[in-house]
Amino acid sequence: MPHQSPVTWLSLLSILHLAQNVAEHLAELDRSGGAATTSPHL
């Protein structure tokens, strides 16, 4: 293999980007859920 395929790098980057978005979304849901259960004024 003389060089890496740009398509492979693009797909890897997009997969990592999607995974990061999902992780941040889950963390935000977790945080808001915890805040809602511990702080009634929110």
**pLDDT, tens digit (0-9, with 9 covering 90-100), for 3-34:** 777 789 899 999 999 999 999 999 998 888 76
pLDDT at 35 over 80: no
pTM as predicted: 0.56
pLDDT given for residue 19 in this prediction? 97
Which carries the bigger pLDDT value, residue 17 or residue 1?
A: 17
pLDDT given for residue 5 in this prediction? 79
- DSSP letter string, 1-42: --S--HHHHHHHHHHHHHHHHHHHHHHHHHHHHHHHHH-TT-
